[in-house]
Amino acid sequence: MTNKVLIVEDEDRIARLLQLELTHEGYTVSVADNGKDGLDQALSEPWGLIILDIMLPELNGIEVLRRIRKVDPFTPIIVLTARNTTPDIISGLDQGANDYITKPFEIEELLARMRVAQRSRTLEAAPKEQSGLLQVADLSVNKGSREIVRGGKRIELTPKEYDLLLFLLENKNLVMNREQILNHVWGYDFLGDTNVVDVYIRYLRKKIDYDHEVTLIHTIRGVGYCIREEES
């Protein structure tokens, strides 16, 4: 699991303190000071954990949490709340927060809660990762045999199509931009046209999504691509 932590907190003093303490503990930390920027960052790349304040400008923390969970049900999220805000705590947990902590708090307590949340996520992911089976909806990829099956039917992919599908599945429910896809699938030294990503996404869609009611490969305008079940 990545050690990258996103802090979404509009109080500069608290955000700065958290950034310093977590960096000291070995985490790579990014900070957003409003809900809109926090949501954009949360969906732009994989995170090991997100620390999310409830009271935020532009977009409140509960709405940020709700929108994250629509596309990413797995990343551990700890919400920060003021004292005596039980409704906020209940709402946060109902929307998919892994834990909460009330202000003011001791950094040692937050670190402990972070470790628990990340450990729980690792345990949840372990069985499928160990089996080498990646799955979303009725699509599965066996990393050992390189067998791709959707709806009970085998799908044949070229090596590069397979690498692209594998990368999307390994980051299931997360939005990957073109640069991330190029770096991981084609390599950092790739000098070709970035449109190659769009071309190969089209190839994949014809083989993965064609003739299926549920679309799995999604375009996020202005950002990139992700693989997830279609929202109902």
Q: Show me where the domains of the chain are located.
A: 4-129, 132-227
pLDDT above 60 (res 101) = yes
pLDDT for residue 168: 95
Provide the mean pLDDT of the chain: 85
Q: Dihedral of the CA atoms 95, 6, 115, 86 (nearest 10)?
A: -40
List, for residues 37-89, the tens digit of each pLDDT value: 999 999 888 899 999 999 999 999 999 998 988 877 778 999 998 766 677 77
Q: Which of 203, 196, 159 lies closest to 181 in space, CA to CA?
A: 196
CATH class of 4-129: alpha beta
- Is the fold of 4-129 the same as that of 132-227? no
Cβ atoms of 33 and 15 within 8 Å: the answer is yes
Q: What is the 3-state secondary structure (H, E, C) of the chain?
A: CCCEEEEECCCHHHHHHHHHHHHHCCCEEEEECCHHHHHHHHHHCCCCEEEEECCCCCCCHHHHHHHHHHHCCCCCEEEEECCCCHHHHHHHHHCCCCEEEECCCCHHHHHHHHHHHHHHHHHHHHHHHHHCEEEECCEEEECCCCEEEECCEEECCCHHHHHHHHHHHHCCCCCEEHHHHHHHHHCCCCCCCCHHHHHHHHHHHHHHCCCCCCCCEEEECCCEEEECCCCC
Q: What is the pTM of this model?
A: 0.56
Least reliable range by pLDDT among 4-13, 54-63, 183-192: 183-192
| Distance of alpha carbon 127 from the chain centroid | 19
pLDDT above 90 (res 201) = yes
pLDDT above 80 (res 4) = yes
pLDDT above 50 (res 141) = yes
Token pair recorded at residue 134: 């990646």
Most confident of 22-36, 120-134, 137-151, 190-204: 22-36
The angle at the Cα of 95, spanning 45 to 104, to the nearest 5 degrees, equals: 85
CATH of the domain spanning 132-227: 1.10.10.10
